[in-house]
Amino acid sequence: MSVNYWFLVTFSQFVSFKIEVDLLYKLTFAIAENEVYIMFGKLFGNNKTPKEEKVLPWQNLTSIEQLDEIELSSKGKTQLIFKHSTRCGISRMVLNQFTEAYDLDLNADLYYLDLLNYRDVSNEVGYKFQVMHQSPQLLIIKNGVVVAHASHGAINDLDLSTFI
C-alpha cells in the first residue's frame, strides 16, 4: 500500500467521521432546542395554537375636516382618538396593549391617527381640542371637548367605560 493511497483512505475516513459527528451534533442540538422550547411552552402556557388577532373598529383619521365631524358626533356618542407614531417602539407597545385591553362592546367611535403621515391633522387635533401633542396619545371627546387624555403607559390606565 502506497503512502498516497493510505493517506486518501485515512483522509476519507476522517472526513466521513467528521460529517457523522457534525450531523450527530446538529441532531442533538435540534432535539435539545426542541425540548427547551417545549419546556418553556409548558412553563409559560404556549400551546402552539396561534392567538387570534383582535381587530378594533378603527376609523382612520386622515383629514382636518374629520375633526369637525368628530366634534359634532361627540355630542351623542363618545369619540376616541388614538395618536400613534409608527416609528416608535414604545408607541407600538402601547398600541398593542390598548388593542388587547379594549372592550369591543364599548359604545364609542374609535379613530386611529398615524401622526407621521398626517402631521397636519395631528397638529390640528392639538389646536382644536386644546391638548398638547404627545405620542402615543389617547383623547376622549364628549360634547365637543376633551374630557380626558393620556399618553404612553397612562393610556392603558384609563377606564374608558367611565366616559361612555
Q: Which pLDDT belongs to residue 28?
A: 52
pLDDT at site 6: 54
What letters, b where the CB count within 10 A reaches 16 and e where it falls short, cover 76-101?
A: eebbbbbbbbeeeeebeebbeebeee
Q: Residue 33 pLDDT > 60, yes or no?
A: no
- Compute CA distances 91 → 54, 65, 73, 113, 159, whole Å: 18, 25, 27, 12, 19
78 and 133 housed in the same domain: yes
pLDDT at 26 over 70: no
Number of structural domains (the chain) is: 2
Average of per-residue pLDDT across 65-78: 98
**CB 101 within 8 Å of CB 56:** no
Confidence of residue 37 (pLDDT cuts 50, 70, 90): low
CATH of the domain at 149: 3.40.30.10
State the average pLDDT over residues 24-32. 53
DSSP code of residue 60: E
93 plus 21 within the same structural domain: no
CB count in 10 Å sphere of residue 10? 10
Residue 148's domain comprises 58-163
